[in-house]
Amino acid sequence: MNHDNHHDKETIKKFNFVSKDRKESYEILIAELMVGAYSFYTWPAAKILAQFIFYMRQCLVGKNILEIGAGTSLPGILAAKIGSNVTLSDSALLPKSLAHIDRICNLNKLKPGKDVQVVGLTWGMLGNDFYDLGNDLDLIIGSDCLYDIGIFEEVISSVAFLLEHNLKATFICSYQSRSSDWSIENLLKKWNLACRNIDLESIGKETGVDMKDLMGGHVIYLLEFYRKH
pLDDT tens track for 102-137: 999 999 999 999 999 999 999 988 889 999 999 999
Cα(56)–Cα(166) distance, integer angstroms: 20
- C-alpha to C-alpha distance for 218 and 179, rounded to whole angstroms: 12
Residue 112 falls within a domain, yes or no?
A: yes
Residue 218 clears pLDDT 80, i.e. is over it: yes
Domain that includes residue 167, residue range:
38-227
Yes or no: say if 156 and 118 are a contact pair by the CB < 8 Å rule.
no
Domain-embedded: residue 177: yes
Please, which residues have CB within 8 angstroms of residue 65's CB and are 6 or more apart in sequence? Answer: 76, 79, 84, 85, 86, 87, 137, 138, 139, 140, 141
SS3 label, residue 191: coil
Average pLDDT, the chain: 92
Q: Is residue 28 situated within a structural domain? A: no
Q: Is residue 5 predicted with pLDDT exceeding 50?
A: no
Average pLDDT value for residue range 134-148: 93
Give me the helix-helix angle, 200-207 and 44-55, nearest 10°: 60
Q: Of 133 and 36, which is predicted with more confidence?
A: 133
Is 114 inside any structural domain?
yes
The verdict on residue 105 lying in a domain is: yes
- Higher pLDDT: 198 or 34? It is 198
Q: Quick one: pLDDT at residue 109?
A: 98
1 has a pLDDT exceeding 60: no
Counting the structural domains of the chain, the total is: 1
184 pLDDT above the threshold of 80: yes
Residue 184 carries which side chain, given as an amino acid letter?
Answer: I
At residue 153, the 3 state secondary structure works out as: helix
Instruction: Provide the pLDDT for residue 8.
Output: 53
Tell me how far apart the alpha carbons of residues 135 and 2 are, in angstroms, rounded to a whole number: 39
- 0.85 cut: is pTM over it? yes
Question: The domain that contains 170 carries what CATH number?
Answer: 3.40.50.150
Residue 3 lies in a domain: no
Q: Please tell me the predicted confidence (pLDDT) of residue 219.
A: 92
Q: Is 99 among the domain residues? A: yes
Inter-helix orientation angle 74-82/44-55, to 10°: 20
Least confident of 72-81, 126-135, 173-182, 202-211: 173-182
Predicted confidence at residue 37, as pLDDT, reads 66
In a domain, 110, yes or no: yes
Question: What pLDDT shows up at residue 36?
Answer: 64
